Amino acid sequence: MKKIALFPGSFDPFTKGHEDIVLRGLRIFDEVVIGIGTNSTKKRYFPLEVMKELIERTFADFPNIKVIAYDDLTAHTARMLDARFLLRGLRNTTDFEYENGISQVNRYVYEEIETVFLITSPHLAPISSSIIRDLHRYGQRVDDFLPYSLNELNELNQDQ
């Protein structure tokens, strides 16, 4: 049976830290589905469709990496995709406390699901989407933290 993992997150924006988790996940799973959770009550900084497109471009050469947006429980989405695994990254104990809770809830909703945690690669540990948003908001260049070019993002933004 094909091992499919869903990598759920806000990805606002998708960073080199996320990219690293996806690529390392591919050594364990046959397919990784990057799931951008859409929460209508939470306003995004980077538009969803733009981010989806940029992630798709990042992994254009990988037939076993897919990108979806979903508005449902993560566990329901995993079941719908036939994904028996959730992939998540851990940077520190704060991440652990949070991840511990959601992974228990996900197994409550979908008993067969297992969350697999990959410890961050040390050089990527300081990267977080919220820090990147703050830097970007005040005009700081953030390209070094992203696996795609922000010029592309600006072009896509203008098209939207």
Which residues participate in catalysis according to the annotation? 18, 42, 91, 129
Nearer to ligand ADP, 140 or 158 (CB): 140
Out of 129, 136, 146, 148, the only residue in the binding site for ligand ADP (CB under 6 A) is 129
Cβ(142)–Cβ(135) under 8 Å?
A: yes
Chain position carrying tokens 């410890």: 119
Among 48, 124, 150, 156, binds ligand ADP (CB under 6 A): 124
Q: Count the site residues for ligand ADP by CB under 6 A.
A: 17
At 19, give phi and psi (nearest 5°). -60, -40
Which 8-state DSSP code applies to residue 141? -
Among 17, 25, 35, 147, contact with ligand ADP (rule: CB under 6 A): 17
x-or-dash pattern for ligand ADP, window 38-77, by CB under 6 A? ----------------------------------------
Ramachandran area for residue 11 (φ above 0: left; ψ -120 to 50: alpha; else beta): left
Closest separation between CB of residue 155 and ligand ADP, Å? 23
Q: And the tokens for 47?
A: 């538009």
Asked if 9 is part of the footprint of ligand ADP (rule: CB under 6 A), the reply reads yes
Residue 157: alpha-carbon gap to chain centroid: 20
Task: CB nearer to ligand ADP: give 17 or 84.
Answer: 17
Q: Residues 89, 118: contact at Cβ < 8 Å?
A: yes
